[in-house]
Every structure is written in structure tokens, then in C-alpha cells.
A = this chain, B = another copy of it.
Amino acid sequence: MEKILANWESLSVSSGALRFLDTNLRGIGQVMFQDNPLSGALFLAAIAWGSYAAGTPQVAIAGVLAVIVSNLTALWLHVESEPLHSGLYGFNGILVGLALATFLAPGPLLWVYVILGAAVSVVVMLATTNVVKPWGGALTFPFVLTTWLLLLATYGFSGLAGTALPSGAVVTAFQPYKANPLQLIDLGNGVILSISQVFLKGSGISALLLLAGLAVSSLAAAAFALGGAVLAVLTAHLFGAESDLITGGLLGFSPVLTAIALGTVFYRPSWRVVAYAALATVFTVIAQAALNVALTPFAIPALTAPFVLVTWLFLLPRQRLETVAPAANDVEKPVAGA
């Protein structure tokens, strides 16, 4: 594996086209913090399968278009090479493309929206990185902010309509998940879909491809993703969250990202770090439920905002925590130092 990647790397250096392909694949990999083209390729397979299985192939196309537009925008803006080639200007773009095509109806203006959103996500990435560099990376905040504005605006534009947007109706009574030994399979389903929902997909096969993509790059990342999903589903169940949200993975995708970020990317591993990451993961479930409620009047989805909020809160104290030093090769460094 390492040899293949080394060969690929030397090929990429020799060809502008391959370098650009490599940059886009790494951009997809960076959605789950993996600066690795093979991870990106497996994640792309997960997206393609999930979109095909859901009968919405335009979603995968929008994602690919968006990551390309993002990286072209970054080139036009003369960003530094190292973070660009690590995919750091692509991961927000692909998420913008996937989210817009998931929540909006197909049509010519959708593609205008995807291109506009992908380009703006790069500006927001540069802006956010400048603000947060003293303590961490931009995470998926550029994706969240850009997509929220674009989705909110559709309610004022007759040319763009939502198909999957939540309604702004008042919160009503819901059906909490009932514990039942026979239904443990449902909880397991919730764990799996918590992973695929990171890419807005509800597909078990996509989840397996994503776990494979994590594992080829970092076994620890795959383990924290799975552990985070289990912890999130159990926490949501303990507090009596809505059954459909738990089993659909909709309360677990942000905690999965929190667990990977705090457990494997930003801090050196230790039991203290595991406990700290677990506390953050549990609180991300709270934040997800809270934002679901808070965004109801606006009829937009929370996206990965709970992950961004909680991970920022738990990253900020870092410089004060004596024994929790940053790892030498963390993904965040290129962002902060770029």
C-alpha cells in the first residue's frame, strides 16, 4: 500500500493533470481528515454508490463538480501550494455540492448554485482559517455557512425549490426509540448510517466503503469513527431521542467527526484524550439535538455545525492542557500555518 502511494506521489509530481486529480481526491479524503488520495477514491466510491442507490445520480455529479470548482478557485486566488495539494481547499466544496443537490430540486439554477457555492466556500475557508488559526483549523465551518446562506435564500427565490428541506413548522410530539432486545439491529443500523451520513448518505454499503477509506489511511481514525458512532447512538437512546433520527444516523454523523478529530488528528493519543474525546462526542449529540430545534424556524438542516461548534470548544483549551500536546503531523498544522 505504502509503495503504491509512493509511486502515485511521484507520478503526481510529474504531471499537472495527475497532480490536480490527486488534489481533488485528497480534498474528498479531507472531509474525514485523511490527506490520502486512496481514501478519497474510496470515499468517492461511497458517494457514487449512495447517490446511485438513492436514485439521485446528480448528487454525486454535483459533488465532483464542486470539488473541481473549489480547487480551480483556490488556484485562481493564488493560495499556498502545500495546503492546496493536501486537499484543504476541496473538502468544503464537495460537501457544498452534495448538500445543495441533496436538498434542492434539479434544474439549471441548481448548477449555478453549485458553482457559486463551491467558489465562495474557498473564500470562506481562507477567511475562517485566518480567524481561527490561533487555536485550530476551519473544519467544515465554510461548508456550513455557505450552504446555510444558499439554502435560506431559496425561500426568497422562485427559481430554486427545496425537495428535502425540513419544514419550518412548530416542533411537535415525536416517537422516541423504544429499547427492545429484538430491535438491537435498529441501533446497529443507526451506528452504520451515522458514518455514511457524514456524506449525506443513508447507505450501509457507503458506510463500509468509508470505513475502508479511513482504514487504508489510519486504523485509529476508523476505530474512532466506529466508536464515536456507537457512543452517539447510545447517548441519543439514553436521552430518548426520536426513533427515526437515531436509526437513520441523523444524530450520529457530527459526533463521528468530533470523535475522529479529537481522538486522532489534533491530540496525541492517551486515555485522557480518549476520555476527553468521549465527553466531546457525547456533547455533540446534545448540540445536534439543540441545533435541530434551533433551526426549525428557519427550515434548514444543521449540517455539520454541531461538530464544528463542539470541536472548536474542545480544541480551544488545548494550549492550557499540560499533558495534551498536539501531535507532530496533525492535519491542522498546514491549515493554521498556511
Contact = CB atoms under 8 A, between A and B. Distances in A.
Contact of A293 (B159, B283, B298, B312): B298
Interface residues of A, number: 67
Interface in A308-322: 312-317, 319-322
A317 B127 contact: yes
A206 B280 CA distance: 36
Contact of A290 (B128, B134, B153, B315): B153
Interface in A120-177: 120, 123-124, 126-128, 130-131, 134-135, 148-153, 155-160, 168, 170-171, 174, 176
**Which DSSP category, helix, strand, loop or mixed, fits chain A's interface?**
helix
A87 to B, nearest CB: 17
Contact of A119 (B240, B279, B291, B320): B279
Given A124-B313, A127-B312, A127-B317, A153 B240 contact: no
A171 B155 contact: yes
B153 A174 contact: no
A102 interface: no
B153 A293 contact: yes
Contact of A78 (B116, B291, B321): B321
B130 A319 contact: yes
21 contacts: A77-B320, A78-B323, A119-B279, A123-B279, A123-B313, A124-B313, A126-B316, A126-B317, A126-B320, A127-B312, A130-B320, A149-B283, A149-B286, A149-B290, A150-B286, A152-B291, A153-B287, A153-B290, A156-B242, A157-B176, A159-B176
